[in-house]
């Protein structure tokens, strides 16, 4: 930013001839001031009204086509964002843009960012699109360019793509930075995932506190648990609000984890039991890492959401090491997995190495499906059962299949307690939408089953 922000104010003096350039210079001066404020407040990136513009900024709205040689075309529909200078970049219908890209332009991870920005062809570049049908008045669209470089920080990150056999493929799990958390559907899904983890952490703490007795030997545990619950109540409104400004949201998460870290450090100093001390110190070390760097221009949020989710997993699992911990989490060993295509979807028979014990109506089952497809499923509804169940006997679990942000076709399924209809079983049955599971070599190694009481 320092190279492009000159901060040269326009000087107006009596007697000077006022030209068009003076007004352009005034606009540039104002834009520089706006960009300085936007970069500090995070008011740039994707932007939409999540109630009126639900179809905007969807990763499915971006498609690539190869023309010839190094020439490609990207088609964009219903896109909206703000660049650092406060300029609105808006496509309501569908527009196509040609650009050059050579796969020899290597990136460290083989992935590339594509930016959209005001056209460099002129200050006021516009293009006539159509005439208004009733009045005949001409309608103009702003001119935009697309590029894999963000020229003079004028661009907004459109998407991330990778190259396979000279074809460009959009990474639909990518979450570009946005003005608000609900600036894109992917960002909303990721924040809902964080909210789910926060809800699990909160409910386990509440149940644990009810089971504790404030005896002298448990005073440190009692005080730490109380401080955790107070932090939950303070930060809950921020985590629940999908329309939070993006940097406010992540700064709030950072403050929450900092508060948890402080209480854990105090607990570790006073607690004498070695195992819990060691576990606390391991978690504190992870909590020392920043979730997001607000002083640097952000272009994607996959890393921030992923790291925040892992921190919630770490502090939640730590509770099992507290005296009479509120959760018992274990992974079920899998013997083999069979996949069968049926009219209702892909049926997976999962056989466990040993018969597993459950608490009927209480145990929570979580499935982790890693790199489980080569394309998105045709739907999100799933069914889960214990034993060799048939499709019609099982509950329809709507929208519980969650894509893990930043990972290739990886999903989680957090089953409600109603799924647990038996106290023990050696087989679980999954009905998944196609094409999940198809073409996956060694299904067993791609599935993890976790249970919590």
User: pLDDT tens-digit profile of 149-169?
Assistant: 887 778 899 999 988 877 888
The tokens of 161 are what? 């793509």
Distance CA(153)–CA(83), nearest Å, equals: 8
Owner of token pair 């993006």: 246
Q: Residue range 178-197: average pLDDT? A: 92
Instruction: Tell me which of 304, 321, 338 is where a domain ends.
Output: 321
pLDDT-derived band of residue 372, with 50, 70 and 90 as boundaries? very high
125 and 55 together in one domain:
yes
* Pair 134, 213 in one domain: no
pLDDT at 96 over 70: yes
For residues 42 and 85, state if they share a domain: yes
Please check whether residues 406 and 283 belong to one and the same domain.
Answer: no
What is residue 163's predicted lDDT score, i.e. its pLDDT? 83
Mean pLDDT value across residues 294-322: 83
Average pLDDT value for residue range 173-182 = 92
Could you tell me if 7 and 32 lie in one domain? Answer: yes
Higher pLDDT residue, 379 or 138? 379
Q: Return the higher-pLDDT residue of 53 and 15.
A: 53
381: pLDDT strictly greater than 70: yes
Q: What angle do CA 352, 356, 362 make, to 5 degrees?
A: 125
Query: Residue 42: its pLDDT value, please?
Result: 61
Global pTM value:
0.67
In a shared domain, residues 305 and 374: no
Residues 129 and 192 in one domain: no
Q: Is 6 helix (H, G, I), strand (E, B) or coil?
A: coil
How many domains is the chain partitioned into structurally?
3
What SS3 class is residue 225?
helix
What average pLDDT does the structure give for the chain?
Answer: 84
pLDDT tens digits, one per residue of 59-87: 999 999 988 888 899 999 999 998 888 88
Residue 6 has pLDDT above 70, yes or no: no
Q: What is the pLDDT of residue 36?
A: 64
Q: Are 320 and 314 in contact (CB under 8 A)?
A: no
DSSP for 261-320, please give it: HHHHHHHHHH---HHHHHHHHHHHHHHTS-S--TTS---B-HHHHHHHHHHHHHHHHHGG
Tell me: do 79 and 123 sit in the same domain. yes
**Where residue 437 sits, what CATH number does that domain have?**
2.60.120
Final residue of a structural domain among 321, 350, 377 = 321
pLDDT confidence band for 123 (50 / 70 / 90): low
152 and 248 in a single domain? The answer is: no
**b/e 85-122 (16+ beta carbons within 10 angstroms → b):** bebebbbeeebebebebeeeeeeeeeebbbbbbbeeee
Rounded to whole angstroms, the Cα distance separating 17 from 13 reads: 9
My answer on whether 154 and 250 are in the same domain is: no
Same domain as 186, residue 255: yes
To 5 degrees, how large is the angle CA 349–CA 353–CA 357?
A: 90
Domain shared by 282 and 334, yes or no = no
Is the predicted pLDDT of residue 49 greater than 80, yes or no?
Answer: yes
Q: Which one has a higher pLDDT value, 28 or 374?
A: 374
Domain that holds residue 26: 1-174
**Residue (of 241, 209, 244, 213) closest to 228 by Cα position:** 209
Q: What angle do CA 361, 363, 368 make, to 5 degrees?
A: 125
Percent of the chain with pLDDT over 70: 85
Q: Which pLDDT does position 393 carry in this prediction?
A: 86
Q: pLDDT > 90: what percent of the chain?
A: 39
Residues 235 and 340 sit within 8 Å (Cβ to Cβ): no
Element (H or E) spanning 33, and its range? helix 20-41
* Residue at which a domain ends, from 259, 293, 321: 321
Section 292-320 average pLDDT: 83
């Amino acid at each position: 930013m320092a190279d492009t922000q000159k901060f040269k104010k326009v000087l107006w003096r009596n007697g000077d001839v006022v030209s068009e350039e003076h007004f352009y210079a005034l606009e540039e001066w104002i834009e520089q001031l706006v960009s300085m404020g936007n970069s500090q407040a995070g008011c740039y990136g994707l932007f939409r009204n999540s109630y009126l513009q639900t179809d905007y900024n969807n990763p499915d709205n971006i498609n690539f086509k190869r023309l010839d040689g190094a020439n490609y075309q990207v088609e964009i529909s219903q896109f909206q964002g703000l660049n650092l200078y406060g300029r609105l970049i808006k496509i309501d219908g569908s527009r196509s843009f040609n650009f050059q890209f050579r796969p020899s332009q290597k990136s460290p991870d083989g992935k590339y960012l594509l930016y959209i920005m005001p056209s460099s062809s002129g200050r006021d570049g516009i293009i006539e699109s159509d005439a208004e049908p009733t009045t005949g008045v001409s309608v103009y669209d702003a001119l935009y360019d697309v590029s894999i470089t963000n020229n003079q920080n004028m661009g907004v990150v459109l998407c991330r793509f990778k190259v396979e056999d000279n074809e460009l493929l959009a990474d639909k799990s990518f979450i570009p930075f946005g003005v608000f958390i609900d600036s894109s559907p992917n960002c909303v899904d990721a924040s809902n995932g964080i909210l789910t983890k926060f809800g699990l952490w909160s409910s386990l703490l509440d149940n644990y506190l009810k089971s504790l007795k404030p005896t002298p030997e448990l005073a440190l545990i009692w005080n730490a648990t109380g401080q955790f619950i107070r932090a939950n109540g303070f930060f809950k409104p921020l985590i629940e609000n999908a329309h939070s400004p993006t940097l406010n949201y992540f700064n709030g998460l950072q403050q929450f984890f900092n508060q948890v870290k402080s209480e854990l450090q105090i607990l570790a100093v006073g607690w004498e039991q070695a195992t819990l001390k060691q576990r606390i110190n391991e978690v504190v070390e992870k909590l020392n890492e920043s979730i997001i760097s607000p002083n640097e221009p952000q272009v994607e949020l996959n890393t921030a959401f992923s790291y925040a989710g892992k921190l919630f997993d770490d502090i939640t699992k730590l509770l099992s090491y507290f005296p009479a911990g509120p959760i018992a989490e274990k992974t079920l060993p899998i013997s083999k997995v069979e996949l069968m295509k049926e009219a209702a979807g892909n049926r997976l028979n999962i056989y466990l190495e040993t018969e597993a014990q459950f608490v009927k109506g209480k145990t929570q089952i979580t499935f982790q499906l890693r790199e489980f497809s080569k394309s998105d499923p045709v739907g999100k509804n799933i069914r889960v059962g214990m034993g060799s169940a048939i499709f019609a006997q099982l509950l329809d679990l709507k929208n519980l299949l969650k894509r893990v942000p930043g990972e290739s076709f990886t999903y989680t399924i957090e089953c409600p307690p109603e799924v647990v209809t038996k106290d023990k079983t050696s087989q679980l049955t999954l009905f998944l939408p196609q094409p999940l599971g198809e073409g996956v070599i060694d299904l067993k190694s791609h599935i993890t089953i976790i249970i919590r009481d």
